[in-house]
A and B are shown apart, each in its own frame.
Chain A
Amino acid sequence: METDINLSKIGRNSLVLLRILIGWHFLYEGVLKLYNPAWTSKAYLSSAELLRPLFQWLSSDAMIHLVDNLNIFSLMVVGLSLLLGLFERIGSVFGICLLLIYYIAHPALPGASQVGTEGSYWIINKNLIEATALFVLYHIPTGSYFGLNLLRKILLAPQTK
């Protein structure tokens, strides 16, 4: 997909760099969890305060195995799509959804308990910032410039005579 926005070369390269770094982050998280069967999101989800019934249900014994597998799968889909520059808009949507779920489970709101954070946050935290960065990448995809989408486009293009 091409973007209508006219970007300078440095601007375009910056977005490619952002895409690769976020993809790196997601893929590493997904692969690490894939190869570590003891990992589970149960404690994170079950300690959610906002939308508590929903998160209690997601972290119940009946659901948690499916939820964990879906989480790993989604992390890897996002990571692969962004790193490879292929279907990155789908990856961005998956990523935004994941990050918003993480945020809603433990929002950086005054009075809400913070889980697994190493800094200080007020309303805005790293999950929200990364989700916003993915929102930008969704609107300004760069896979056709740097990524497998470039090759895909060449392959799918009509033959020139």
Chain B
Amino acid sequence: MSENKKNNWSRRDLLKGIAGVPIVGSVWWAGASKGINNTQARDSILKTLNINASPPPPSGPMAGDPIRIGIIGFGIRGPQLCRALGFGQKSWLTSMTEAAKKNPKDTRLSSFLEQEHLNVHITAVCDLFDVRAQDAIDSFSTDEVKVQRFGTHQELVESNIVDAVVIATPDHWHAPIAIAALQAGKHVYVEKPMTHNIKETYALKDAVEASNVVFQVGHQHRQTQSFLTAQDVVNKNILGHVSLIQANTNRNDDNGAWQYPIHEKANPNTVDWKQFIGNAPMVPFNSEHFFRWRKWWAYGSGLSGDLMSHDYDRVNCILKMGIPSSVVASGGIYTHRDGRNVPDVMQVNMEFPDFSTGSSQVAGKEKGMTMVYSATLGNQYGRTTAFMGHDATMEVGNSLTIYADSKSTKFKEKLISEEMDSNIPIYQYDPASGSVDGVTSATAKYFADKGLLWTYRDGKRVDSTHLHLREWLSCIRNGGIPSCNIKEGFEEAISSHMGGLSYKLGRRIDWDKTKQEIVRVEGYNLDEVLLENKEKIT
């Protein structure tokens, strides 16, 4: 700038000096308008939806004398349940410590250590494999409490060193052990499916109703925040009439297909084979049957009881639609032709012709719903669980997302005014948006995506099973009824058995709502059909 121009403003200088000001004004106006519009649209949508995503009040205090727990079944699920109670196996603690050192993102150990103390003692274990029973004794015994092994569940439930039992055995032992425990006055937490056949489903129901102890079935997703939020969404009729629900199993690895490791020390001397067989047909000792029991109808329940039971209860806890009026299933053994007799590909259509989640249209126009469960153990494409309503679609897993339907009646005006866009979620709950979780295997991811592994409370990741067990313990201590009691367990068990029966018989299975029983099929004893250790009954 030349000396003689100093302090002498030309019009050109002034224009060049302030030229940025109108740009600032324009950009500010554009940003502020967009920001305000976004905020108003978001507030308006949230006000319209009025979804209450706040977590439930925690179950009651864990004060008082420690509850003494006996573990029956210490294979895969048993140790997981013990961890949820606050007891980690020594081998698990060692491997998790190493995993956390290798990968700082692996939060499994820290989550376990931060878990709330539930004021329980593990005092007894019953497992038919010596190595596993000894593992529980070595891992959980303390100077104060020595874990005692019982050779049979009957001895354990009748002992005076347990107040409550956790049952994580093969399916064919769930009901007999639960009934024995209830009759002995012990509180019961039993894994899913609640029972292995129809007859014992009624027997267990009678036993729970005749007892005055606390009974809980292990469907831990009932504690997951997204499912609690989904209940609020349905109660407020945001989805309109839901005519179709799709739920899926998508797995593609050995672990997901129940090809579990076989322990090298398992033999007739270390495994109580006769007791394992129980009511199943006697066969010579077979370590594959012992460790991979889910692959045979004699001990397990196939996709319908093993995994569809999860999905059925995931939907039932949201909709409370009860037992389907009819079930049609199909499928086959298409991905793991390894001697198993349960299907590895299965589709189950469940009909609920009288059920409705509500309507935004003319009264009487909509009624009835189908739930489709579709499973393969040979592909891992991430199909989601979707509730498909006239007004919106809700995807539920560990997160929850709602999309308005472009032809919705309820949201018609907001869609026309472009306040809503059917391609953009109108509501999203994502517990992991504030953190990223390490998931270590395909099967773990499958369960995590479904909301079966963990949830969040006050921003902290918590094991859903821990909360589910806590609820059970709180009911024991403080009274109350757990969220997955006998009514819910009965509905889950009957629906699962209808799926298994339909698959094995290759025909439709009906439910008589008045008589509260599965409609008989001429020429067949349905319990025998379920238990018969064959893929299909002809």
Contact of B27 (CB < 8 Å), options: A24, A34, A52: A24
- The distance in angstroms between the C-alpha atoms of A44 and B133, with both chains bound, is 46
B34 close to chain A: CB less than 8 A: yes
- The distance in angstroms between the C-alpha atoms of A28 and B27, with both chains bound, is 6
A154 & B35 in contact (Cβ 8 Å cutoff): no
Residues of A within 8 A of B21 (CB): 84
Residues of B within 8 A of A79 (CB): 24, 27
Residues of A within 8 A of B23 (CB): 20, 23-24, 83
B418 close to chain A: CB less than 8 A: no
Contact of A31 (CB < 8 Å), options: B3, B4, B27: B27
A160 & B28 in contact (Cβ 8 Å cutoff): no
Q: Mark A137-153, 1 if CB is under 8 A from B, else 0.
A: 00000001111111101
A95 close to chain B: CB less than 8 A: no
- The distance in angstroms between the C-alpha atoms of A105 and B413, with both chains bound, is 41
A154 & B7 in contact (Cβ 8 Å cutoff): yes
B459 & A61 in contact (Cβ 8 Å cutoff): yes
Which of B387-395, B428-436, B525-533 lines the interface with chain A? Answer: B428-436
Give the most central of B8, B14, B17, B36: most A CB within 10 Å: B17
B381 close to chain A: CB less than 8 A: no
The minimal Cβ–Cβ distance linking A96 to chain B, given in whole angstroms, is: 20
Given contacts A28-B31, A46-B435, A46-B436, contact A38 B7 (CB under 8 A): no
B17 & A31 in contact (Cβ 8 Å cutoff): no
A37 close to chain B: CB less than 8 A: yes
Residues of A within 8 A of B435 (CB): 46
A59 close to chain B: CB less than 8 A: yes
B38 close to chain A: CB less than 8 A: yes
- The distance in angstroms between the C-alpha atoms of A29 and B35, with both chains bound, is 10
Q: Mark B1-41, 1 if CB is under 8 A from A, else 0.
A: 10111111100011011111101100110111011101100
Least CB separation from B6: chain A residue: A157
Q: Mark B396-435, 1 if CB is under 8 A from A, else 0.
A: 0000000000000000000000000000000000000111
A158 & B6 in contact (Cβ 8 Å cutoff): yes
Q: Mark B104-137, 1 if CB is under 8 A from A, else 0.
A: 1100000000000000000000000000000000
- The distance in angstroms between the C-alpha atoms of A159 and B6, with both chains bound, is 7
B30 & A52 in contact (Cβ 8 Å cutoff): no
The minimal Cβ–Cβ distance linking A107 to chain B, given in whole angstroms, is: 16
Given contacts A27-B27, A43-B433, A160-B7, contact A36 B38 (CB under 8 A): yes
Given contacts A146-B16, A150-B13, A154-B13, contact A33 B35 (CB under 8 A): yes
- The distance in angstroms between the C-alpha atoms of A79 and B32, with both chains bound, is 14
B42 close to chain A: CB less than 8 A: yes
A20 & B28 in contact (Cβ 8 Å cutoff): no
B27 & A83 in contact (Cβ 8 Å cutoff): yes
Residues of B within 8 A of A52 (CB): 104-105
- The distance in angstroms between the C-alpha atoms of A154 and B5, with both chains bound, is 8
Given contacts A27-B24, A27-B27, contact A32 B35 (CB under 8 A): yes
A46 & B434 in contact (Cβ 8 Å cutoff): yes
Residues of B within 8 A of A160 (CB): 3-4, 6-8
The minimal Cβ–Cβ distance linking B337 to chain A, given in whole angstroms, is: 38
B434 & A35 in contact (Cβ 8 Å cutoff): no
Given contacts A43-B433, A160-B6, contact A20 B13 (CB under 8 A): no
A31 & B32 in contact (Cβ 8 Å cutoff): yes
B17 & A35 in contact (Cβ 8 Å cutoff): no
Residues of B within 8 A of A83 (CB): 20, 23-24, 27
Least CB separation from A155: chain B residue: B7
Least CB separation from B38: chain A residue: A36
The 8 closest A-B pairs by CB, nearest first: A35-B35, A31-B31, A151-B17, A157-B6, A36-B35, A32-B31, A84-B20, A83-B20
Q: List 8 A-B contacts (CB under 8 A).
A: A27-B27, A36-B39, A53-B104, A144-B1, A148-B18, A154-B9, A159-B7, A160-B3
